[in-house]
Amino acid sequence: MKRAWKGLRTNPVVIAVLTRLVVFLLGGLFRSLRMSYVGREVLDEIIRAEGRRVMATFWHGRLLMMPFAYREGPWAIMVSRHPDAEVISRVAERFGIQPVRGSARRGGARALRGMVRASRRGYHLAITPDGPLGPREQVKTGTIELARLAGTPIIPMAFAASHGRFERSWDRLLIPYPFGRGVFVYGEPVVVSPTAGPEEVEKARAVLEEGLRQVTAVADAYFKESAVGHQPSAVGARSERSL
């Protein structure tokens, strides 16, 4: 089976069919969900009121619905150079997101330069700081370096669903069930100084990691709190953390 897939994953026809199928399924799934948004005013203020670019970050296990997290763009996302990621790259393009191929392990320096160039051309950036292969829910230093070079505030984000399942993959990918409820949560911006040294970069990495864990916890608790009449905790009140 694995040998057969290795041959098929580079077949243009197979890639085209899978891309259309994934786009159709994701679009239909999202439209079936009743969505809530916690802290989205943070992005509205930075992007619309201030006219600044941002870097959206979210754990690899929560990426499935992220093309719908904030549609106002343009956006660029880092995608692995592995052949298995070709469909992901094509799907991103179909949703109007510019893929930049590379990762910390393969083509990392080139991808970093590509993301910086995209930012300078006016793109917002998106990245999974624990991708493409983990460790799960641990921010890599390259994410902070990218923000430092691009000069963009980092926004921790998360998605959760009222009903769904977690895959038995390294990232525990969340797949929401149709016709349920979903929520996007947006956290406080983390700002990295362009002159930040190794200590400041490490501090920013730790702050972002904690911010991502916080928004993920808020997202996961959202429907439990709503069910008992509690107001979900807002984590998106504007309070930039500059490092």
The string of pLDDT tens digits covering residues 49-78 is 899 999 999 999 999 999 999 988 899 999
pLDDT band at 2 (very low <50, low <70, confident <90, very high): low
Distance, in Å, from the CA atom of 229 to the CA atom of 226, rounded to the nearest integer, reads 5
Please report, rounded to a whole number, the percentage of residues in the chain having pLDDT higher than 90.
71
Give the model confidence (pLDDT) of 134-155 as tens digits.
Answer: 899 999 999 999 999 999 999 9
pLDDT of residue 26: 97
Residue 93 in this model has a pLDDT that exceeds 70: yes
Tell me the residue type at 117. R
Can you give the C-alpha Rg of the chain in angstroms? 18
**155 three-state secondary structure:** strand
φ, ψ (nearest 5 deg) of residue 204? -65, -40
Structure tokens at 195: 């002159």
Q: What does the longest C-alpha to C-alpha distance in the chain come to?
A: 52
| CB distance 209 to 135 below 8 Å | no
| CB distance 132 to 85 below 8 Å | yes
Range of the domain at 222: 2-242
Mean of all residue pLDDT scores within the chain? 88
pLDDT of residue 236: 47
Give the model confidence (pLDDT) of 188-235 as tens digits.
Answer: 999 999 999 999 999 999 999 999 999 999 999 999 865 444 445 545
Residue 179 in this model has a pLDDT that exceeds 50: yes
Structure tokens at 149: 């070079």
Looking at residue 122, what DSSP letter applies?
T
Residue 241 in this model has a pLDDT that exceeds 70: no
Q: Number of folded domains in the chain?
A: 1
The pairing of beta strand 154-161 with beta strand 55-57: parallel
Structure tokens at 209: 């990691």
Q: What is the CATH number of the domain that holds 226?
A: 3.40.1130.10
The DSSP annotation for 155-198 comes to EEEEEEESSEEE-SSTT--EEEPTTSEEEEEE---EE--TT--H
156 - beta bridge partners?
Answer: 57
Q: Which of 187, 194, 185 is nearest to 240 (CA)?
A: 187
pLDDT of residue 237: 47
Please report, rounded to a whole number, the percentage of residues in the chain having pLDDT higher than 70.
86
